[in-house]
Structure 1
Amino acid sequence: MKRVLITGANRGLGLELTRQSLERGDMVFATSRRPEAATDLQHLATQYPGHLTLVQLDVTDEASIRAAHEAVKVVTSSLDLLINNAGIYPGMGPEDPENQRLGQFTADGALQVLRVNAVGPLLVAQAFLDLLRAGSKARILSLSSGQGSLEWKASGDPYHYSASKATLNMYMRALAAEIGQYGVLSILVDPGWVRTGMGGSAAAQDPAVAAKGILRLADQLHAEENGSFVTWQNQHVPW
């Protein structure tokens, strides 16, 4: 049984990762900004009593991150896997910035995306590092995107989302270089274009397939892969 923390677990790929982790017997800490409104997670909690803990967490709020750490620490003294899944794509969610097109940019809109998609995951990893260091072959998987690849970038829009994922890549690559000495590995994972509220109904990728591949990656990750950027099928993605 692994002890798994998943951010943004109330919907989309985060919810599917939570479901599959529970199905294989893991102890899961599922975080969201509003657990009281996360009806799908609450339903899973009734299905898997003692295996699922709902935790309030806003990755842009440092006090919320500290409180989430304390809440998890009450239940367990260690974590084996952190999945940084929480993220936004401007215009695809009710609380997201409305646009990221040339001629419509604002500093606040850009910074909001960067805080959620890049800075937040780094702060979460920092806060939970003590529990990860106490875990067994602990891993940090941060969900990035092919849009964050400088080599692959061939369009303008989306500006903020692409920049935020490239920033996330650098943060987690740097983190990997530092925490490898503790036996904790950090990699970036491109889950593909997934059919979720963020990805939209036209997306080709089934979230169940992507989630299965991501969890398989976590299980099979080796020390020499620390700091890598791969797809959910463990194929190299250029920086």
Structure 2
Amino acid sequence: MKRVLITGANRGLGLELTRQYLERGDQVFAASRQPDSAADLQSLQSQYPDQLTLLALDVTSEDSLHAAHAAVAAKTEALDILVNNAGILPGHPGAGVGDDPGTQRLGQLRYADAMQVLATNAVGPLLVTQQFLDLLRKGRKSRIVSISTGLGSLTLKASGSQYHYSASKAAMNMYMRTLAAEAGHDDIVSIMVDPGWMRTDMGGTGAALLPADSARGIIRLTDQLHAEENGSFVTWQGKPVPW
């Protein structure tokens, strides 16, 4: 049995990862900003009352991070897997930032939007990992998986769109690659994963990849990680992504 913490677990990929880890018998701590209104998570908790713990977590709030850590530490002495999945896409419903698509175009970009996206998508995963590092150090072959995107690749980026989102994911890649160099001394493997273009609220209906397939690949990838893969950037199928 693995002890797994997943951020942004209330929908999309995070919800599917939560479901699949529960189905195989793992203990899951599912974090979201408003777990009381997360109907799908509430349903899963009724199915798996002994395995699933719902956590309130805003990755941009130090107080929220401390409270979530205390809640997890009260139930387990260690974590084996951390999935940094929480993130926002400007212009997407529920993001709370840049709801007008016009603000995502050159000439209309806003400082406040940029800072909020960077805080959530880049700094957030770093500080979540820092907060729970003590529990990860006590885990069994602990793994940190941070959900990135091909849009965060400097090599692949060729479109004049998604300024803040792309930059935030590139920044997250650097933060987590830097952390990997230190975490590796504790035999913790940290990787960044492009989950693919998924058919979710964020990805849209035009995407061909189902969240269940991406989640299945990420779980398989995480289970098979070796020390030499620490700090790598790969797809959900384990193929290298250029930085």
TM-score bucket (shorter structure): over 0.9
TM-score for the superposition, normalised by structure 2: 0.97
Is residue 34 of structure 2 the alignment partner of residue 30 of structure 1?
Answer: no
Unaligned segments of structure 2, at least 5 residues: none
Q: Distance in 2 between matches of 1:216 and 1:64?
A: 30
SS of the equivalent of 1:54 reads strand
Where does 1:118-133 land on structure 2 (aligned, <5 Å)? 118-133=122-137
Q: Distance in 1 between matches of 2:127 and 2:139?
A: 19
1:105-132 per-residue CA deviation (whole Å, 9 max, x = no partner) reads 1110001100110000000000000000
Is residue 213 of structure 2 the alignment partner of residue 212 of structure 1?
Answer: no
Q: Distance in 1 between matches of 2:97 and 2:220?
A: 31
1:130-154 per-residue CA deviation (whole Å, 9 max, x = no partner) reads 0000000000000000000000000
Please, which moves more after superposition, 82-91 or 96-105? 96-105
Where does 1:9-24 land on structure 2 (aligned, <5 Å)? 9-24=9-24
Q: Distance in 1 between matches of 2:126 and 2:105?
A: 26
% identical aligned pairs: 67
For 2:98, the aligned partner's letter is: P
For 1:19, the aligned partner's letter is: R
Q: Distance in 1 between matches of 2:97 and 2:11?
A: 15
SS of the equivalent of 2:74 reads helix
Q: Distance in 1 between matches of 2:2 and 2:104?
A: 39
Partner residue, 1:48 = 48
1:48-103 per-residue CA deviation (whole Å, 9 max, x = no partner) reads 12100000000011110111000000000100000000001111123232242101
For 1:238, the aligned partner's letter is: P
For 1:97, the aligned partner's letter is: G
Q: CA deviation at 1:30?
A: 0.1
Unaligned segments of structure 1, at least 5 residues: none
C-alpha RMSD of matched pairs (Å): 0.7
Partner residue, 2:118 = 114
Partner residue, 1:97 = 98
Q: Distance in 2 between matches of 1:93 and 1:229?
A: 28
Where does 1:75-90 land on structure 2 (aligned, <5 Å)? 75-90=75-90
TM-score for the superposition, normalised by structure 1: 0.99
Is residue 185 of structure 2 the alignment partner of residue 181 of structure 1?
Answer: yes
Is residue 161 of structure 2 the alignment partner of residue 157 of structure 1?
Answer: yes
Partner residue, 2:3 = 3
Partner residue, 1:238 = 242
1:149-198 per-residue CA deviation (whole Å, 9 max, x = no partner) reads 00000011011000000000000000000110001110000001111111
Aligned residues: 239
**Corresponding residue to 2:140 among 110, 116, 136:** 136
